[in-house]
Structure 1
Amino acid sequence: MTSAPTRDRTPGATLHDVGQVPWRDLTDVTGCAAAIPYLLAAIASGDDAAARTGVDRLRHRICQYGFVVGEATPATVPFLWHLAQRPQVTCRAQLLRLLRSIAGARQWETVAATSPKARRRHDDQLGWESAARRAVRDHGGAMPRLLADRDAELVRLAEELACLIF
């Protein structure tokens, strides 16, 4: 599996931009990443049950077990930041937890540290993991808005994430 180039997303990425990402050419932890736009749409839908199911399924695809990321993870991060800022999104706290998991993901880095052979064998995964962590940091411009939110749990999670990425 080789890493397909992903477009650099700006901090202002919106769900209107989701079609610009070659999802069918990317893989997530479970396989083809083509379902990711539908999961993002479910999260944005305003329907609490659909949003929570969408986050759970998305977590399984882009940060499985809370630490295994895939090729599509870095391309998904800007959309997570966008959704986390939208008051009408009912699962913003879960999105911040997902971003925190992605920012802390070091599964492949840990495996590669065991030997040069392991590093060569997992080169793609190392790249995806590094790019995912970088995407969380690079799109952290949303942090001031989240830190000023009225939801105390959201502010606490934003503070934890800020400590991890800055």
Structure 2
Amino acid sequence: MLKGIHAVRWHELQDACGPARDVPDLLSRAAWGDAPSSRDAIDRLKDHICELGFVVREATAPTIPFLVELAEAPHIQCRPEILDLLLSIARANQWSNAAAAMPSDRAGDYAEPLDWERACRSALHDAAPSLQKLASSLESDVAQPAREIIQLLKGSDDSGRQSHEHAPRQRMDPWMSQ
């Protein structure tokens, strides 16, 4: 569980609190803590990677595969909270909305945050097979947010644009150690 977490250069990524150094510890607490500490870890993680419940950061996309992995593990105490966090990330479009409201000569001001939103959508698209499994869970507090995420992703490519074909893609995640 959480294999590859140390391959991510968390210290180089920013979250809402600064360098994302706390993210691996919070994911570990969610994975191996009792119910109260797992839920607390996810609540704190939300403050770091999905500020105010709708603002993603640079460290958000690299966190998504680990959150999905935890959500799939039946022994994890906070699966509904993890899926609620993933749903908040899927709904996040604060940077897109802000960029759309800007005059065209300032559109470049939002290039990096728009990339964060696109990276999150891409990571969620990559997790679609896992989300499909979670959507068929008998636990409604797990299945319902998974179904909502899938609905948000339907009809859009990994950048959020409408797409009718999903061609396989190869990419190298820039936040991974080589």
Q: TM-score, normalised by structure 1?
A: 0.87
1:131 aligns with 2:119: yes
1:163 aligns with 2:167: no
1:141 aligns with 2:129: yes
Label 1:150 to 1:33 Cα distance change in 2 as closer, same or farther (>3 A). Answer: same
Q: Once superposed, which parts of structure 1, at least 4 consecutive aligned residues long, lie more than 3 Å away? A: none
Offset of residue 154 of structure 1: 1.2
Counterpart of 1:61 in structure 2 is 48
The answer to whether the 8 A contact 1:46-1:88 is kept is no
Q: Of the candidates 106, 131, 141, which is equivalent to residue 153 of structure 1?
A: 141
Counterpart of 1:90 in structure 2 is 77
Question: How many corresponding residue pairs?
Answer: 153
Counterpart of 1:23 in structure 2 is 10
CA distance in 2, matches of 1:70, 1:21: 15
CA distance in 1, matches of 2:151, 2:94: 20
Q: Output the aligned Cα RMSD.
A: 1.3
Code of the residue aligned with 2:53 in structure 1: it is G
Unmatched segments (≥5 aa) in structure 1 = 1-13
Counterpart of 2:159 in structure 1 is none
The answer to whether the 8 A contact 1:43-1:51 is kept is yes
Offset of residue 118 of structure 1: 3.6
The answer to whether the 8 A contact 2:132-2:150 is kept is no
Label 1:118 to 1:65 Cα distance change in 2 as closer, same or farther (>3 A). Answer: farther
The answer to whether the 8 A contact 1:105-1:133 is kept is no
Code of the residue aligned with 1:137 in structure 2: it is H
Offset of residue 152 of structure 1: 2.2
Offset of residue 142 of structure 1: 0.3
Q: Of the candidates 83, 98, 117, which is equivalent to residue 111 of structure 1?
A: 98
User: What secondary structure sits across from 2:146 in the alignment?
Assistant: helix
How far does the alpha carbon of each residue in 1:47-93 deviate from its partner, in whole angstroms, 9 at most, with x for none?
Answer: 11110110011000000111111101110000011000011111111
Label 1:117 to 1:58 Cα distance change in 2 as closer, same or farther (>3 A). Answer: farther
Identity over aligned pairs, percent: 37
CA distance in 2, matches of 1:131, 1:93: 23
Unmatched segments (≥5 aa) in structure 2 = 155-178
Code of the residue aligned with 1:52 in structure 2: it is R
Range with greater deviation from structure 2 (151-160 or 99-108) = 151-160
Q: TM-score, normalised by structure 2?
A: 0.81
Counterpart of 1:4 in structure 2 is none
User: What secondary structure sits across from 1:113 in the alignment?
Assistant: helix
